[in-house]
Chains A and B, each alone.
Chain A
Amino acid sequence: MKHTVEEIRLKNGARGLLIDVPGATVMSFEFQFRAGNRYVKHKDIYETAHLMEHMAFGANAQFKTEHEFESEFTKNGAYHNAFTSDLSMVYMADCADFEWERILKLQEVSICQPKFNEDELTAEKGNVRSELTGYLNNHIRLLWPKAQQLLGEDVLTFSQRIKTIPHVTLRDVREHHRRTHTSDNMRFVIAGKLHGRKTEIRRQLEAWNLPKGEHFAVPHDELHTANPSLIRRKEASNITFGWSNIVPRVLSDTELDAMACLNHLLTGTMHSRIFGTARKKGVSYNIFSDTAASFYESSWDFGGQVNQESAKELFEIIYDQMRQVLDGKVTQEEIDAAKSYALGRHQMGAQTVSQISNFYTARYFGDGVVKDYEKVPDSITNTSRECMIETAREFINADTWVLAAVGSGEKSEINELNDKLARLYT
């Protein structure tokens, strides 16, 4: 879908993107605050942000109860949701084009004018406990917070988070909202048919009832390598693993493009070097890899599931293929094929308003950069073999990594897998 993007900076300090998609029948809204778990007052009340997010759809200045608000919001099929991550709290809504003004106004009421009360806090404590307890049964969800923690990120695991729920008071919730939900701390992306509507959107957002404040800095953890870790689950039928590598700097867009290309070569297809080889030998059904830049560092993660008896063979494949990459044994032909794939993917993307919005939000809500959709083909085409190999080498040379797993076996088995990977770093 054709679209144009404009960044606007409001007088109240809020910033955002207006994405005009001519002919769109849907309007999509996302509002982000740096108000996630890392911004709570102290770790004893870690679950405050998540509880606040749940309560934001409750009573507010116009509606006495969550039921009344919800009834009004959804009456023509509009949808809303929210999530809390380590750093962000994001409110999302989609609606039919004809009712965009009504929905924007309702979002203002829930985000800016909530009336937190004891009854809803008690209810949401029950709901959040139920939500997090459910995650304890999910091996993949168990794995990654543990890996983050082992590497030195100041986050809590789900079981630790559950223990903080009773400590959170209504005062904590109100304080968190007051401190974090300020106009300066807000970023937004609005996408849909915006021709002739931008002035009105700007006018409405300028008038949002939010105090001034600050756009918070992102906390900086010193990350370090860590010993392997096994979360034992005696009922686990196989090993769910995650291997995370860190470099202590933010990769450039060029380097991220190169790593996306390398990840495609390693795990993206049935003929990829790690996943494809593993599939060809019948030793794994599911493996992924991903590279991401954060604020102070960048990560290169691998994950998957493998039967206990196949694990050594799979990790030998991972070692061999990574060794080859580090030795520069990647052909231009492979890279050209990956580029061709990426170009095709790009051409098939952006079919819906939400997909267009998603293209921009991750980066914009992170470091405020507005990606250029039209330049994506050029950046794919310009990806170089040298950049790919050098960036991969930098991750390994940084020697900041961890292997974590969930399984029913012995810790010694994970140590053995860890030893196989450790050879890459020597």
Chain B
Amino acid sequence: MSLKHTVEEIKLSNGTQGIVVNIPGVHTVYMTFSFRAGAQYVTQDLCQVPHLIEHLAFTNPGALEGQEAFSREFTKNSASEDASTDEVHITYEAICSLSEYERIVGLMGDVIARPTFTEKSFSVEKSTILEELNSRLNNDNRIYWQMANRMSGGSGYTDQEKIDSLDTTTVADVREFYATSHVSDNLRFVIAGDIDARTVSTQLKTWPLARGERPSIRQDTFRTLPNPVVLQRPEYGSLDFSLSLLTPGLLDHEEDVAWAFVHHLLFQTYHSRIFGKLRSKGVCYDIGSSYMNIMNNYRELEVYGSASSENIEETMAVVVQEFRKLATGSISLEDIEDVRAYIAGFQERRFEAPGDVAAYYENQYLLSGSYVKDQVILDIIKTISAETIVRYVRKWLADSAMRFGVTGNVDEAQAKKLQVIANQLKDEV
């Protein structure tokens, strides 16, 4: 890792926990505050309450009246803030220069611990959220994902359900959920910059949050879908596809590194086994993959991309063939050493900015409550073997629930044919 840093975990007496990443000499501070207060902790008819809290928190915080007054004060020296809501979390973020760090933490404290939810702001933010959600209805990848997630056993809400719930949600619902969710025991944070843990502790202790509970994350149960998920879009010129393998529990560090090796070998370069092969034939411009923790206490390995209806079957066949080859041990010592050299080199330029360092720790800590230093990951990269990687690939194929789907102008017969190809991924190795 390029930027030298130290990490210290803080546990306050009020139940709040977090980590301070001290990066000497940097002039910017990154801070993230997160509560388990997402949509999974409310019923469907109130599913936009967390999202409304996220918007409303910035409208009348502390002694400031109105979003305009807050925005003027917060941004006067170019600090920026943002917030997001997902199935599990409401997360508040800020970036500021070191010179005004204390002022900005104070203002974030007002946003998080001293908001006022007025009827007027509530009405405005409902309308803004309607604008936001309507714009998301143009995002077919998102629509597909919500539909596929639900069909395979996930329990998130669709954007249309979210829009429908807004009519009946009241400001009283917002106040009630805020009171139970925004409690000190449920707060986790990551602050990164040239700051020390003691200063952070002193400041956060002053936030007037009530005590309460930190809820657990719901465990969904995904099932393999025998038929493809199809989102018909007759006007599309190409077909977007998605193949997901869903496994319960969160990624551990060795598995994460094993995936990085597989991802590089299959997808990341013009000489990779899947992307490289397809690009050299000119049959698929856009294909990629990810392996990440998702909000249902699962990890999802997804292969996604876009191809014409003439080329999509060949594309899927190559995906299945290459995963199966890996599962049967088709990976040489030379392959492994090549990938190892790439990944080790990539680490050299991965953490150039303080924001990169902050993001590395946030991604670990805010979901699982634990973290490892970058050196632990580097050590795994240096030592992971071909056998270990093959073992993980077999596990992914054997232990996961699978779903396949297509968005575009696809007929039923072709969708079924693609499903048959995808199913071969689960054939015994």
Contacts and interface: CB of A to CB of B under 8 A. Distances in A.
Partners in one complex: yes
Interface of A: 25-26, 57, 65-71, 74-78, 94-99, 120, 122-131, 133-134, 136-137, 139, 233-238, 240, 269-271, 276, 279-286, 305-307, 310, 337, 340-345, 347-348, 351-355
A310 B237 contact: no
B307 A130 contact: yes
Given A67-B276, A341-B77, A351 B353 contact: yes
A342 B97 CA distance: 13
Contacts of A122: 282
A124 B282 contact: yes
B212 to A, nearest CB: 29
23 contacts: A65-B280, A66-B280, A70-B270, A71-B338, A75-B338, A75-B341, A96-B348, A120-B280, A126-B282, A129-B308, A133-B308, A134-B285, A136-B237, A137-B236, A139-B138, A235-B233, A237-B134, A237-B137, A270-B71, A286-B135, A341-B76, A348-B95, A353-B352
A282 B307 CA distance: 39
Nearest to B66: A280
B271 A77 contact: no
B223 interface: no
Contacts of B281: 123, 126
B352 A26 contact: yes
A343 B78 contact: yes
Contacts of B233: 137, 235
B284 A130 contact: yes
Given A26-B349, A66-B270, A282-B124, A76 B342 contact: yes
A282 B285 contact: no
B125 interface: yes
A174 to B, nearest CB: 19
Given A123-B280, A348-B28, A238 B134 contact: yes
B368 interface: no
Given A136-B237, A340-B77, A341-B75, A280 B124 contact: yes
Contacts of A25: 2, 348-349, 352
A95 B78 CA distance: 31
B94 to A, nearest CB: 12
Contacts of A71: 269, 271, 338
Interface string B259-295: 0000000001111000010011111111000000000
Contact of B346 (A77, A282, A351): A77
B57 to A, nearest CB: 12
Contact of B238 (A134, A240, A307, A351): A134
A51 B375 CA distance: 42
A113 to B, nearest CB: 17
A342 B79 CA distance: 10
B163 to A, nearest CB: 10
Contacts of A65: 280
B352 to A, nearest CB: 4
A16 B398 CA distance: 54
A236 B138 contact: yes
A341 B78 CA distance: 4
B198 interface: no
Contacts of B345: 75-78, 95-96, 99
Given A134-B285, A279-B67, A285 B77 contact: no
Nearest to B287: A130
A126 B286 CA distance: 11
Contacts of B125: 282
B132 interface: yes
A114 B129 CA distance: 51
A279 B235 CA distance: 33
A239 to B, nearest CB: 10
B41 to A, nearest CB: 24
Could you say which of B70, B236, B237 has the most chain A C-beta atoms within 10 Å of its C-beta?
A: B237
Contact of A74 (B95, B279, B342): B342
Interface in B90-111: 95-97
A57 B270 contact: yes
A348 B97 contact: yes
B78 A345 contact: yes
B60 interface: no
Contacts of B307: 130
Could you say which of A75, A137, A284, A342 has the most chain B C-beta atoms within 10 Å of its C-beta?
A: A137
A136 B237 CA distance: 8
B400 interface: no
Given A25-B352, A67-B276, A282-B131, A77 B269 contact: no
A234 B270 contact: no
Nearest to A237: B137
Given A25-B352, A236-B138, A237-B138, A127 B77 contact: no
A70 B78 contact: no
A107 to B, nearest CB: 15
Contact of B353 (A125, A129, A137, A352): A352
Contacts of A123: 279-282
Contacts of B96: 348
A282 B237 contact: no
B347 A77 contact: yes
A279 B282 CA distance: 45
Nearest to B141: A137
B110 to A, nearest CB: 15
Contact of B344 (A77, A128, A133): A77
Given A283-B127, A307-B131, 17 more contacts: A74-B268, A77-B341, A77-B345, A130-B238, A136-B236, A237-B136, A269-B71, A271-B75, A280-B67, A282-B123, A285-B128, A286-B132, A310-B127, A340-B78, A341-B78, A345-B78, A355-B353
